[in-house]
Amino acid sequence: MANVSATTALRPVRIPATASARRKHPAVSGRLPVLLLFLPPALLLFSIFVILPMGEAAWYSLYKWDGYGLPTQYVGMRNFELLFKNGAFLTALKNNAMIMIISIIIQIPLAIWLAMMLAHRIAGVVLFRLIFFLPYVLADVAAGLIWRFVYDGDYGLFASIAHLLGVETPYVLADKDLAMYAVLAVIVWKYFGFHMMLFIAGLQSLEKSVLEAAEIDGASGWQRFRYITLPLLGSTVRLSVFFAVVGSLQLFDLIMPLTGGGPFNATQTMVTFLFNFGVARMQVGLGSAVGVVLFLICVTLAFTYKRVFMRHD
Amino acid sequence: MTDVVSSERLTAGTKAYLYTSLVLISAIVLVPLVTTALGGFKDLADLRTNPFGLPLEWHAENYTDILFGDRYWRQMVNSLIIAALTVFLTVSVSAMAAFSFAHVRFFGSDFLLNYFLIGLMFPAATAILPLFIRIRDLGLLNTYWGVVLPQVAFGLGMSILLFRNYFRNLPEELFQAAVVDGCGYMRFFWHICLPLSRPIIATVSIISFVGSWNSYILPLIMLNSEKMYPWPLGIMVYRGEFGTAWQLVLAFITLTIMPTVIVFFVAQKHIIAGLTAGAVKS
């Protein structure tokens, strides 16, 4: 954690924003050349590939367009109406919400539990940490394919577990009622290690004396956790929730190898919907409308997060 | 390590509970990975009857065929080129911009910084169709740049923020001393700022490298010939081609994630720090 501690250690020294605006830099000549050389590359790249496309998405979302020539067929809010009448899109919204909820009620408690266990001084802690973090560094696509094999009803692990138990092999990913739960399990498998790391970092920064004092006062392990550790981890919990929410909104790479959004659109997320209905069919207007909805959700969340979470910053 | 649990008088019962839980979770993490690697050594019949155990007969040819073919290597090289270009551009472009924000006073500096921070708020997927059209109109479809440029652009917000916070924390005296000695902005940036910023350069590089190495949606949309495919696209194509010949697919998956796993175990400290630092500090 060298990097984290290096910068956080420096943080208290940091000059408050108002003072730093008036930092007494001696008048140095050559301010203009440096700005003209250093800023434009970033500005150009960012404007051309981030800001303009976002604006264009808003513009295209008002048209029916196949992507060739110029958009001329103005349809107003029709794409948005179509979107919110589309069963697959509504499923996608519901799935996105479900991923957030599962991340919050299963993944984060799991991560805290593991982080607490790994806070004990026992042999093998480093190895366990590594193992738990490993799925996070694997590409989503690879993880998705691996789990596609695990779930495979003919050759996979599920097939042989079912065989051992003497029950009929479930084809989990082909079952529209089960597929989403299977996907959720993979999401937890893939990402809990990252959240666990956040909590390990959070635990490391706790003031130990408080816990010691509580212990001397006779607080039980659970009481210490419930009334001291957990409240002190508040900011980490909020951070973790934020990443779970943002991650769920972007989820695409993991779904494609697992189910591609199927069966019967049961596992669509907003981004897989955008891909399957907007990109693959070159319905630029409809796809852009999804982008706009996604953007609005992201921005709303980001501002809420800023107000709730970054107050102190 | 920490000792949040202040006293370390663990009873045998506690220890047993800890290890059972940890080993169980480790098993859930590792079993799919290990069966994947072992599955690559089996033949299809063996895979069907015995997916967990060791192969009855070790079929190394599943692996060697892939390793001696050029498909695997081409994908690795493509991924490497795209990732290297992405890292280089992200680091240089965002370090320069961040330096301007941290050390050069100019009108509109706060406004401009906030402009870049908009990029933190939404993923590339939101604008993927207009991006596709832009890249197409620029004639960059099916080139490395068609993937690299959007990737870099969407990483700028985070990288500029990380660099700027780091640069601002460099001691002010350095700058004053440098100026007294007649050092301009450029030389200060190049000879003083950057050499002192190795940790943050490493962090930004790791974040953008891992992001690029694993990325799927941008190459999927921007590239259309298999010759250009990075490995995440490549394994999807491979899986489509070999369908249910799972033993080959598993061998291919194992080989493609091998570099990640090896690098992760060798440089785990830096990678974990880099990936969580990016998250915590933004």
pLDDT at position A2 over 60:
no
Give the pLDDT of residue A216: 85
Mean per-residue pLDDT, A56-75:
86
Provide the mean pLDDT of chain B.
Answer: 87
- How would residue A309 be classed by pLDDT, with cut points 50, 70 and 90? low
Q: Which residue intervals of A11-60 are DSSP H helices?
A: 17-21, 31-46, 52-60
B77–chain A Cβ distance below 8 A for any pair:
no
**pLDDT tens digit string along B31-41?**
999 989 998 89
Paired strand residues for A63: A74
| B245 vs A193: CA distance, rounded Å | 31
Positive/negative CA dihedral, B59, B61, B67, B70? negative
Q: Going from the N-terminus, what domains does chain B have, and what CATH number goes with each?
A: 12-64 (no CATH), 70-242 (1.10.3720.10)
CB contact under 8 A, A141 and B106: no
Residues B99-123 have pLDDT tens digits of 999 888 888 888 999 999 888 888 8
Residue of A nearest to B30 (CA): A131
- The predicted model gives A215-233 an average pLDDT of 84
Average confidence (pLDDT) over A294-309? 83
Average pLDDT estimate for B147-155: 94
CB A140 to CB B216 under 8 A?
A: yes
ipTM of this predicted structure: 0.88
Confidence of residue A291 (pLDDT cuts 50, 70, 90): very high
A97-127 burial, b for 16+ CB within 10 Å, e for fewer? ebbbebbbeebbebbbbbbbbbbbebeebee
CA distance A242 to chain B (A): 10
**Nearest-CA distance from B12 to chain A in Å?**
12
The answer to whether residue A123 scores a pLDDT higher than 90 is no
Interface contact B30-A131, CB threshold 8 A: yes
Q: Which of A88-92, B11-15, B67-71 has the highest mean pLDDT?
A: A88-92
Mean pLDDT of A73-95: 90
Tell me what the mean pLDDT of segment B205-214 comes to: 91
Q: How confident is the model at residue A93 (pLDDT cuts 50, 70, 90)?
A: very high
Share of chain B above pLDDT 70, in %: 95
Long-range CB contact pairs, A104-111, < 8 A, 24+ = A104/A241, A104/A244, A106/A188, A107/A187, A107/A188, A107/A191, A107/A192, A107/A195, A107/A244, A108/A195, A108/A237, A108/A240, A108/A241, A108/A244, A110/A188, A110/A192, A110/A195, A110/A196, A111/A192, A111/A195, A111/A196, A111/A198, A111/A199, A111/A240
**Predicted model pTM:** 0.86
Could you give the CA distance from residue A302 to residue A195 in angstroms, rounded to a whole number? 19
Query: Looking at chain B from residue 166 to 205, which residues have their Cβ under 8 Å from any Cβ of chain A?
Result: 166, 168-169, 172, 175-176, 179-180, 184-186, 189, 199-200, 202-203
Cβ-nearest to B6 among A124, A138, A212: A212
Contact A188, A113 (CB under 8 A): no
Q: What's the mean pLDDT in A232-243? A: 85
Query: Would you say residue B6 has pLDDT above 70?
Result: no
Coil vs helix vs strand at B250: helix
| pLDDT of A1 strictly over 50 | no
Residues B257-281 have pLDDT tens digits of: 999 899 888 888 888 888 876 666 5
B8 CB within 8 Å of a chain A CB: yes
Give the chain B residue whose CA is nearest to the CA of A236.
B280
Least confident stretch, A40-44, B6-10, B174-178: B6-10
Omega before A263 cis (within 30°)? yes
Q: How far apart are CA B275 and CA A131, in angstroms?
A: 16
- What pLDDT does residue A13 have? 40
pLDDT, chain A, mean:
83
pLDDT at residue number A222: 83
Distance from chain centroid for Cα B29: 20
Which pLDDT value is given to residue B117? 87
pLDDT, tens only, A7-58: 333 333 444 444 444 444 555 567 888 888 899 999 999 999 999 999 999 9
Range scoring the smallest mean pLDDT among A104-118, A153-167, B59-73: A153-167
- Euclidean distance between CA atoms B77 and B84, whole angstroms: 10
List, in order, residues 6 or more apart from A250 with CB less than 8 Å away: A271, B123, B125
C-alpha count within 13 angstroms, C-beta hemisphere, residue A86: 23
Mean pLDDT across B202-229 = 92
Q: Is B148 on the interface with A (CB under 8 A)?
A: no
How far is Cα A300 from Cα A307, in angstroms, rounded to an integer? Answer: 11
Answer whether A50 sits within 8 Å of B280, measured CB to CB.
no
Cβ–Cβ pairs < 8 A, chains A and B: 355
Burial class from Cβ neighbours inside 10 Å (0-12, 13-18, 19+) for residue A290 reads buried
Please give the pLDDT value at position B280: 65
Nearest to A204 by CA among B242, B192, B273, B259: B273
